[in-house]
């Protein structure tokens, strides 16, 4: 890690807290409010919708002020939004607190890719994105274990303790980032001289990049399953033991933490677009096993859910670093903040549609959600293999530095 130790440590601190709260997001609001599952999903989707336009502003600010400053702002705003959850009781307060949290998250993660690209060289970015994803997931694993404890205790006080701990990790990440140099892929003065007129208009006219973004949306829809579908499906739909939710989340994070480097090495030399498609195939197989779990006795179903989680996680391992590296390298240096802001917008779109869509699907049949997600993933796989025709970066081979 060398000179980047504090940056890496800040990422780990941030993700330990996020790992605490993510597995219990929907369950937290079911515990501390009188809202129904669909109302909670609607509040989360509404908040994501309201904050989506911020991606355009944040992308411009990253290009102008640098990624580190925006990450610092993001941490403080996330801490404030998380603490606001302690006092929410109705739909609108949930939505507004989540708006604040989402703005901070967009500022932080909308700057992350820009900073990583600035501190790395072409040819080693899959390794770096994979390495940081692994560390993030080890942080999630620690948080996931503690979340499982909160689920077993199953009291309002335990759930609120998770919220406070998450807010504290955002503050810790802020402190760690204070001494991190403001890495920029293009110096501020040079960026001003090189920047062509048009700004966001240039980004939005880049049809090849927009096609990559659309392909990534299908991947994001799959990634959101872990946060917004599996916890409710396991704990509520199938009525499996509460600890299983924390176990699935922890298993996912440990697999990514320990297996991401191995997956990148295995993918080295293979075409990026094909690895994007492979990720979607893993998702489909995982979904099929989740369906099977609903037909089995309780303890066999628990085992099936864990096996399905392993295969599902393989999709995250294959797709995560490849999508990230392709998006970063396909963007011009002086507009990378805006380009990656568009990618962050995709995550915002995913955060908008998936909570309400998944909760609605879960209430309209035990297996409906998996059929719909399977179709999306298969479309994503077919779409990915065609990307190199319009975006040469997607046709390049994965490298390991």
**CATH number of the domain that residue 269 is part of:** 1.20.1250.20
Q: What is the mean pLDDT of residues 27-50?
A: 88
Q: What is the mean pLDDT of residues 171-188?
A: 74
What is this structure's pTM?
A: 0.75
3-class DSSP state of 271: strand
Which letter, b or e, does each residue of 271-282 get, where b requires 16 or more Cβ atoms within 10 Å of its Cβ? Answer: bbbbbbbbbbbb
Is residue 19 very low, low, confident or very high in pLDDT (cuts 50, 70, 90)? confident
Query: Biggest alpha carbon distance in the chain?
Result: 66
Alpha-carbon distances, residue 232 vs 22, 23, 229, 242 (angstroms): 12, 10, 6, 10
- Is residue 232 included in any domain, yes or no? yes
* pLDDT over 90 (residue 93): yes
| The two three-digit tokens of residue 166, written as one number | 């998450």
What gap in Å lies between CA 377 and CA 285, rounded to an integer?
Answer: 10
Alpha-carbon distances, residue 18 vs 41, 170, 236, 293 (angstroms): 19, 9, 22, 28
Q: What's residue 81's pLDDT?
A: 95
- Is residue 191 included in any domain, yes or no? no
* Residue with more model confidence, 131 or 299: 299
* pLDDT over 70 (residue 184): no
| The two three-digit tokens of residue 33, written as one number | 């409010």
- Is residue 189 included in any domain, yes or no? no
- Is residue 115 included in any domain, yes or no? yes
Is residue 347 very low, low, confident or very high in pLDDT (cuts 50, 70, 90)? confident
Tell me if 368 sits within 8 A of 290, measured CB to CB.
no
- Is residue 185 included in any domain, yes or no? no
Q: Is 360 exposed, middle or buried (0-12, 13-18, 19+ CB in 10 A)?
A: middle
Q: What's residue 86's pLDDT?
A: 95
* pLDDT over 50 (residue 191): no
* pLDDT over 70 (residue 1): no
Kindly state the percentage of the chain with pLDDT values over 70: 95
Number of domains in the chain: 1
Q: What is the mean pLDDT of residues 135-156?
A: 80
What gap in Å lies between CA 271 and CA 385, rounded to an integer?
Answer: 9
Q: Which range of residues forms the domain containing residue 78?
A: 2-179+196-395
* pLDDT over 90 (residue 193): no
Q: What's residue 233's pLDDT?
A: 95
Is residue 41 very low, low, confident or very high in pLDDT (cuts 50, 70, 90)? confident
- Residue 306: CB atoms within 10 Å: 15
Residue of 260, 258, 303 lying closest to 279 (CA atoms):
260
Residue 89 Rama label (left phi>0; alpha psi -120 to 50; beta) = alpha
Tens of pLDDT, residue by residue over 59-88, are: 888 888 888 889 999 999 999 999 999 999
What gap in Å lies between CA 71 and CA 61, rounded to an integer?
Answer: 11
Handedness of CA 210, 211, 217, 220 (dihedral sign): negative
- Is residue 161 included in any domain, yes or no? yes
What gap in Å lies between CA 324 and CA 156, rounded to an integer?
Answer: 38
Q: What is the mean pLDDT of residues 186-214?
A: 72
* Residue with more model confidence, 399 or 229: 229
Enter the DSSP assignment of 397.
B
């Amino acid at each position: 890690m060398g000179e980047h130790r504090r940056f890496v440590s800040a990422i780990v601190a941030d993700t330990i807290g996020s790992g605490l709260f993510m597995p219990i997001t929907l369950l937290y609001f079911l515990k501390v409010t009188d809202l129904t599952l669909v109302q909670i999903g609607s509040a989360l989707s509404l908040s994501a919708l309201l904050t989506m336009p911020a991606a355009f502003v944040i992308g411009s600010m990253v290009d102008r002020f640098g990624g580190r400053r925006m990450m610092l702002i993001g941490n403080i705003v996330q801490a404030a939004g998380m603490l606001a959850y302690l006092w929410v009781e109705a739909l609108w307060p949930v939505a507004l607190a989540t708006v604040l949290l989402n703005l901070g998250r967009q500022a932080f993660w909308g700057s992350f890719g820009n900073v990583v690209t600035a501190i790395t060289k072409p040819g080693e970015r899959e390794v770096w994105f994979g390495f940081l994803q692994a560390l993030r997931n080890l942080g999630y694993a620690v948080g996931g274990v503690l979340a499982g404890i909160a689920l077993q205790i199953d009291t309002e006080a335990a759930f609120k303790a998770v919220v406070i701990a998450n807010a504290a990790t955002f503050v810790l990440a802020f402190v760690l980032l204070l001494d991190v140099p403001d890495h920029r892929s293009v110096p501020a003065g040079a960026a001003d001289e090189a920047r062509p007129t048009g700004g966001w208009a240039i980004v939005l006219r880049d049809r090849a990049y927009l096609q990559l973004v659309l392909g990534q949306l299908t991947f994001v829809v799959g990634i959101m399953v872990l946060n917004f579908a599996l916890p409710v499906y396991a704990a509520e739909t199938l009525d499996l033991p509460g600890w299983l939710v924390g176990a699935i989340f922890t298993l996912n994070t440990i697999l990514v933490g320990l297996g991401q480097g191995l997956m990148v090495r295995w993918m080295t030399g293979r075409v990026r677009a094909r690895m994007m498609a492979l990720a979607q195939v893993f998702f489909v197989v995982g979904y099929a096993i989740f369906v099977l779990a609903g037909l089995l006795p309780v303890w066999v179903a628990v085992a099936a859910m864990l096996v399905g989680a392993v295969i599902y996680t393989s999709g995250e391992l294959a797709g995560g670093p490849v999508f990230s590296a392709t998006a970063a390298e396909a963007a011009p240096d002086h507009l990378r903040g805006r380009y990656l802001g568009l990618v962050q917008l995709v995550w915002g779109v995913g955060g908008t549609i998936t909570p309400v869509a998944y909760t609605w699907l879960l209430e309209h049949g035990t297996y409906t959600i998996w059929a719909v997600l399977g179709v999306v993933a298969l479309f994503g796989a077919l779409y990915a293999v065609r990307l190199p025709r319009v975006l040469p970066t997607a046709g390049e081979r994965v490298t390991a530095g």
